[in-house]
Amino acid sequence: MQTCCEQTAVYDPSRQEVACCDCGLDPLCQVVDYGARELADSKVVLRRRQPMQRGELLFSAKHSFSALFAVKSGSFKAISLDMSGKERVVGFYLPGDLIGAEGIANRVHSFTVRALEESSICRMDLDQMPQSGRGNEMLQGALIRMLGQEVNINHLVTSSLIQQNADQRLAAFILNLSTRCGMRGLSQYQLGLSMSRSDIASYLGLARETVSRTLTRFQNYGLIGISKHVLKVVNPEGLQKVTLA
């Protein structure tokens, strides 16, 4: 049986890959032994490191739910339509994050998810789980643990972004990305910034120009540094003070 400790994270600010033991899908992956060779049907249930190209669709809103996904490397964004029919970014997924859990209850996805960059995902086909040969009690226990972790992550995201002004929102957003990467065993201080300024603005409910100006100001204050698609968290304590101002 392959253990989590045999899965090592490869660190690169632009290509961070999460270790299996730090991934949101891990409780279920443990049940099917990470696709162990001795379990013939595990490769049907669990498909690992499937490549995704930038802009490629993972699933669309209102499409039938059949699988859970976890980001192995790269990043994704979730898009929903507002009341006027305009697209709005409602979430970002980083290495280790679970995608698609919202579809479990009603068996349909609530939003559209696309890759922000060249990425890879692991896919767990829940409809095929009975073929894994594992008992229902074991599967249900793993699913409960996995969803419990997902609730904690979502609470972290929601609570950290309830801020008043643009500076506070953007500072909280950066700190949230940093914290989530740290929870996945990745660098908290060098973050892949694959999302566009427009995507960040849409997610935070701000104008694109406001996001650009605020990021520039944060750099001038020595709080962050941005080089190409890498954001360096230079002064996390200073960012925390901004969220409390």
Q: What is the pLDDT along the chain (245 residues), one digit of tens a residue?
A: 444 444 444 445 556 789 988 888 888 788 776 545 444 455 568 888 999 999 999 999 999 998 999 999 999 999 998 888 889 999 999 999 999 988 888 889 999 999 999 999 999 887 776 665 555 666 667 777 777 777 767 666 666 667 679 999 999 999 999 999 998 999 999 999 999 999 999 999 999 999 999 999 999 999 999 988 899 999 999 999 999 88
Residues 6+ apart with CB under 8 A from 20: 4, 7, 26, 29, 34
Q: Are residues 122 and 234 in the same domain?
A: no
Residue 208 CA neighbour count, 13 Å, CB half? 7
Q: Are residues 16 and 129 in the same domain?
A: yes
Domain that holds residue 207: 166-244
Q: Does residue 233 contact residue 178 with C-beta atoms inside 8 Å?
A: yes
Q: Report the pLDDT value the prediction gives residue 25, as an integer from 0 to 100.
A: 86
Q: Are residues 216 and 155 in the same domain?
A: no
Residue 155 lies in a domain: yes
Q: Which of 160, 179, 212 is the last residue of a domain?
A: 160
Q: Does residue 167 contact residue 215 with C-beta atoms inside 8 Å?
A: no
- Distance (Å, rounded) from C-alpha 221 to C-alpha 154? 30
Q: Are residues 184 and 112 in the same domain?
A: no
Residue type, 99: I
pTM of the model: 0.84
- Distance (Å, rounded) from C-alpha 58 to C-alpha 69? 9
SS3 helix, strand, coil % of the chain, rounded to 5? Answer: 40, 25, 35
Q: Residue 100: helix, strand or coil by DSSP?
A: coil
Which residues, in sequence order, are bridge partners of residue 71?
Answer: 121
Q: Are residues 149 and 181 in the same domain?
A: no
Q: Report the pLDDT value the prediction gives residue 186, as an integer from 0 to 100.
A: 92
Task: Look at the block and give the residue holding tokens 């002004």.
Answer: 165
Q: Report the pLDDT value the prediction gives residue 47, as an integer from 0 to 100.
A: 87
Q: Are residues 33 and 137 in the same domain?
A: yes
Domain total of the chain:
2
Q: Which of 160, 192, 219 is the last residue of a domain?
A: 160
Between CA 75 and CA 81, with CA 77 as vertex, the angle to 5 degrees is: 175
Residue 87 lies in a domain: yes
Q: Are residues 15 and 82 in the same domain?
A: yes
- Distance (Å, rounded) from C-alpha 131 to C-alpha 40? 10
Q: Report the pLDDT value the prediction gives residue 181, as an integer from 0 to 100.
A: 92
Q: Which of 111, 132, 160 is the last residue of a domain?
A: 160
